[in-house]
Amino acid sequence: MKFNINRIAIPIGDGGIYWYGVIIAIGVMLGSWFSLRRAKKIGDNPDDLVDFIIYAVPIGIIGARLYYVIFSFDSYKNNILGIFKVWEGGLAIYGGIIAGFITLYFFTKKRKINIYRFLDTCSYGVIIGQIIGRWGNFFNMEAYGSETNLPWRMVIPFESHPVHPTFLYESLANLLVFLIMLYLGKKALPYGYIFATYLTGYGTARFFIEGLRTDSLYLFNIRISQIVAALCVVFGIFLFFFLKGKKNVEISQTTIGEKIENIEENGNKDK
C-alpha cells in the first residue's frame, strides 16, 4: 500500500502546524489523563499531579531537545536557530525522562510526597505518551531502521531500499510494557515496582530496537541510546531488589482505591 505523507497537519502561510507536534501533544494529554485517573483511584491528590505536569511537560521537552542537540551538535553548530525548530523533529526521549525525573525528585521532596508512589503513577502517563508519540516520527519520516525485505517493511521516499519501521517496533513494545504495568498495578506490590517495570521493559526493548536504527546518536562510535537503555535495565533490576525490603511501602494500590470507593458509597448511603 502506498500513500503520500504531508508533514503539515494545518497549513498556515508558508508553514503550519506539523503532525509531529500534534501527535506529541495528543500523547501528552492522554498520558496525563490516564495518570490523573490512576491517582484518583489509589487515593492520591490529583492536584499534586496537575501541578507536577505543568512543570514537567515544558521541562521535559526542553530536556529532550537539549539531549538531542548536545549529541548531534555538528548539525547545528552552523545553524544555531535550527536548535529552536522543534517541529522539525529531534526530541530524544531519554533527555525528557532525565529532566522529568529530576523535576519529580525536587517536586516530591518539596510536597513531602512518597516518591516511589508518585513515580508509579507518572510512569503510566510517560509510557502512553511514548506509545502515541512515536507515530510523530512516522509523519516526520524519521527514526526508521536499516534495509530489510520483511513483509512489514516501509519505503521512505529518499531511501533506495525498504527499511525497518523501528518507530512501529518501539510503539508496539511500549504497548506491551504498558499492559504488563497495568497487570502488576492490580497486585499488592511495593511502591516503585511499576516504575522499575517501566525502566526494565522499555530499556530492554529500546536496546535491541536501537541497534536497527540508522539515525542513532553516537559517543566515541557507541550508540548513546543503547548505553542509556542498558543503564535503565540495570537500575530497574536494582530497584526491584531494593524496594522488596521496604516494608513501609508494601501496600496494594488497588486495595486503596477500593477502600476509598467503599467509604464514598457508605457516605452516600448514610445521606
**pLDDT string in tens for the chain (271-residue length):** 566 778 888 888 777 888 888 999 999 999 999 999 999 888 888 999 999 999 999 999 899 888 888 888 777 777 787 777 776 667 788 889 899 999 999 999 999 999 999 999 999 999 999 999 999 888 888 888 999 999 999 888 878 889 999 999 999 999 999 999 999 998 888 999 999 999 999 999 999 999 999 888 888 888 988 999 999 999 999 999 998 866 555 444 444 444 445 445 555 555 5
Only one residue has cell 499492559, namely 179
Helix (H) or strand (E) holding 49: helix 46-70
- The runs of H, that is alpha helices, within 141-192 are 166-184
Alpha carbon dihedral 159, 162, 164, 167, in 10-degree steps, equals 60
Report phi then psi at 89, rounded to 5.
Answer: 100, 180
CA distances from 17 to 26, 59, 61, 271 (A): 14, 21, 17, 51
All three cell numbers of 32, joined, read: 496525563
- The per-residue pLDDT for 255 is 47
- The per-residue pLDDT for 1 is 56
- The per-residue pLDDT for 271 is 52
Q: Is 21 exposed, middle or buried (0-12, 13-18, 19+ CB in 10 A)?
A: middle
Per the CB < 8 A criterion, the answer to whether 243 and 189 are in contact is no
Residues paired with 208 in a beta bridge: none
The pTM of the full predicted model, rounded to 2 decimals, is: 0.83
Distance between CA 91 and CA 61 in Å, rounded? Answer: 7
